[in-house]
Amino acid sequence: MKFSVDRGKAEFIEVYSDYYNVIFGAVCSRINSIDDAEDITQEIFLRFYRKMDEVENPRKWLFGTMKLVLYEYYRSKKPDSTDINDLINDASLSFVNGMRDLRILLGSILDDPDVFNNDDKNRIIFDLVAIQKYTLEEAAKEIGMSRDQVKYRYSLINRSILLTLKKKGVSNLEELM
Amino acid sequence: MNEQLIVEGLIRKFRFEEPVTPEIRRHIASSKAKNLKKILKKENKYGLFTGLAIMIFIAARKMGLTISFLQAAIVSGAVTVITAAAVVTGGVAGIDYVTDIFSEKKVVPVPEVKIPELNSAVQIKTPVSLFSFTGTEETSLIAKRATDIFYNKLKAERGEDNVFLSKRPGNKGYLLTGSVEKMTSGYVITAKIIDSGRGVILDIETTEIKSEKELYSGCTTLVKKISRNLK
């Protein structure tokens, strides 16, 4: 029996464990079949495993590859479709004028690692709890933390987002709601 | 307003929300390890040890423990070694137990101990009572000399304490009697050994000598022949 674990495999397993729920959930929200979503998620992580050495930011890479694999999926399902990009649409297109600008601003804040204290775990907590509506307990189980740890981190993230919005000149948040 | 509610409200309002239903969340959670195994198998990176490490890693996470995969691998290695040692120890103990119960106890033969031949002086031997050799009138002197030679030779062969000059038969040991007869061309010496306990003649030996000069060698030959048949 071989008792050694290569470092690359260990890193992959950690990234996989951190992002599997986030990616699978994101794929699910874009297609109707859970079986296809599972296959697509597998394909994304398989590609990640093969390219891992070249990847600097796993989250960015995984979401970028998700779009690519979804594109391939739609192409295989609907080869006649003229604009597949419509299927992977950008929600900001549904907003107009100032609201669209606000959405773009909020999107850029959510993409800013500084807002999450440059901690991937914080971003994953936010993805699971705020975006995908996991409970704190569920999120804690998936990322290997206690519920209290997740709750504490989540409160810090929310505060950081609001502070950043204020710094960008968006002060009357309650009115926006 | 609570910060969390404001942020969640913004996420909802600006359509960043991608809610995953509880059923799908459960499916995702339950498929995590299975799909990881599939991916690693496709890349030929999956083995028994990796499987065990993954199991520990995911189980630890679900318990809220923050451990790295390498730490899980170390734990699984230790678990594997301890389990293997316990299985081997238990197996050996079990086999011994079953063997003890079901196997017949082997009778171990007492090893044969070969006692080396001891020097005649220390060897325990049956005592010999030597009676004076008989003879005719003309051989009485030679018979007396023959008795002396036998006596000395027997003592040398069997030890001083095991040879006695005797005049009447005892109950234990051997009786040695003999005679010297004059023949036309020499003498005939006869020696007879008797087991006095059983009343059995064990051996009779004779030899011829041409003259008195050969008496010593003739008696010596007879003593050797008789001694071979005695314990």
If pLDDT is split at 50, 70 and 90, which confidence band does A16 have? very high
Measured in degrees and rounded to the nearest 5, phi and psi for residue B146 equal -60, -40
pLDDT per residue as tens digits for the range B100-139? 777 655 556 666 666 555 454 445 678 888 888 988 878 8
Both A100 and A35 in one domain: the answer is: no
Q: Would you tell me which residues 51-90 of chain A have a C-beta closer than 8 angstroms to some C-beta of chain B?
A: none
What per-residue confidence (pLDDT) applies to A177?
A: 67
What per-residue confidence (pLDDT) applies to B121?
A: 47
- Mutation target to probe the B interface, by most B beta carbons within 10 A, among A4, A5, A28 is A5
Q: Do A131 and B17 touch (CB under 8 A)?
A: yes
Going from the C-alpha of B155 to that of each of B109, B120, B128, the distances in angstroms are 39, 9, 9
Confidence check: pLDDT of A69 > 90? yes
pLDDT average, residue stretch A68-85: 77
Q: Do B25 and A134 touch (CB under 8 A)?
A: yes
Both A122 and A159 in one domain: the answer is: yes
Instruction: Give the domain CATH number at A3.
Output: 1.10.1740
Both A71 and A83 in one domain: the answer is: yes
Burial of B14 (0-12, 13-18, 19+ CB in 10 A): buried
Q: Would you tell me which residues 2-21 of chain B have a C-beta closer than 8 angstroms to some C-beta of chain A?
A: 3-4, 6-11, 13-20
The rounded distance, in Å, linking the Cα atoms of A64 and A134 is: 23
The rounded distance, in Å, linking the Cα atoms of A24 and B70 is: 25
Both A83 and A99 in one domain: the answer is: no
Instruction: Determine the distance in angstroms separating the CA of B44 from the nearest CA of chain A, rounded to an integer.
Output: 11
Q: Assign A40 to helix, strand or coil.
A: helix
Instruction: Determine the distance in angstroms separating the CA of B97 from the nearest CA of chain A, rounded to an integer.
Output: 29
Is A16 contained in some domain?
Answer: yes
For chain B, give every residue range classified as CATH 3.40.50.10070.
128-228
Both A124 and A149 in one domain: the answer is: yes
The rounded distance, in Å, linking the Cα atoms of A115 and A156 is: 10
Both A9 and A68 in one domain: the answer is: yes
What residues of chain B score a pLDDT lower than 50?
118, 120-122
Both A8 and A81 in one domain: the answer is: yes
Q: Would you tell me which residues 50-79 of chain B have a C-beta closer than 8 angstroms to some C-beta of chain A?
A: 50, 53-54, 57-58, 60-62, 64-70, 73, 77
Both A3 and A76 in one domain: the answer is: yes
- Mutation target to probe the B interface, by most B beta carbons within 10 A, among A133, A134, A141, A175 is A133
pLDDT per residue as tens digits for the range B169-183? 665 788 889 999 888
If pLDDT is split at 50, 70 and 90, which confidence band does A162 have? very high
Is A176 contained in some domain?
Answer: no
Q: Strands B186-195, B200-209: parallel, antiparallel or unpaired by DSSP?
A: antiparallel
Both A74 and A97 in one domain: the answer is: no
CATH for B128-228 is: 3.40.50.10070
What per-residue confidence (pLDDT) applies to A84?
A: 57
Which residues sit opposite B163 in a β-bridge?
A: B128
What per-residue confidence (pLDDT) applies to A152?
A: 96
Burial of B163 (0-12, 13-18, 19+ CB in 10 A): buried
Lowest mean pLDDT among A25-29, A150-154, B85-89: B85-89
**Final residue before a domain boundary, out of A54, A89, A124:** A89
Instruction: Give the domain CATH number at A124.
Output: 1.10.10.10
Both A62 and A98 in one domain: the answer is: no
Instruction: Yes or no: say if B222 and B203 are a contact pair by the CB < 8 Å rule.
Output: no
pLDDT per residue as tens digits for the range A87-132? 555 555 666 666 778 888 899 999 999 999 999 999 999 999 999 9
Q: Do B36 and A20 touch (CB under 8 A)?
A: yes
Longest dimension (CA), chain A: 63
**Final residue before a domain boundary, out of A38, A54, A89:** A89
Is A177 contained in some domain?
Answer: no
**Measured between CB atoms, which of B6, B28, B65 is closest to A144?**
B65
Confidence check: pLDDT of A59 > 60? yes
Q: How many separate domains does chain A show? A: 2
Q: List, as one string, the DSSP characters of A100-157.
A: HHHHHHHHHHHT-GGGGTT-HHHHHHHIIIIIS---HHHHHHHHT--HHHHHHHHHHH
Q: Would you tell me which residues 113-142 of chain A have a C-beta closer than 8 angstroms to some C-beta of chain B?
A: 130-134, 138, 140-142
Show the domain range for A77: 1-89
| Cβ-Cβ contacts under 8 Å, A41 against chain B | 35
**Final residue before a domain boundary, out of A59, A89, A119:** A89
Q: Do B24 and A34 touch (CB under 8 A)?
A: yes
Both A19 and A64 in one domain: the answer is: yes
Both A82 and A144 in one domain: the answer is: no
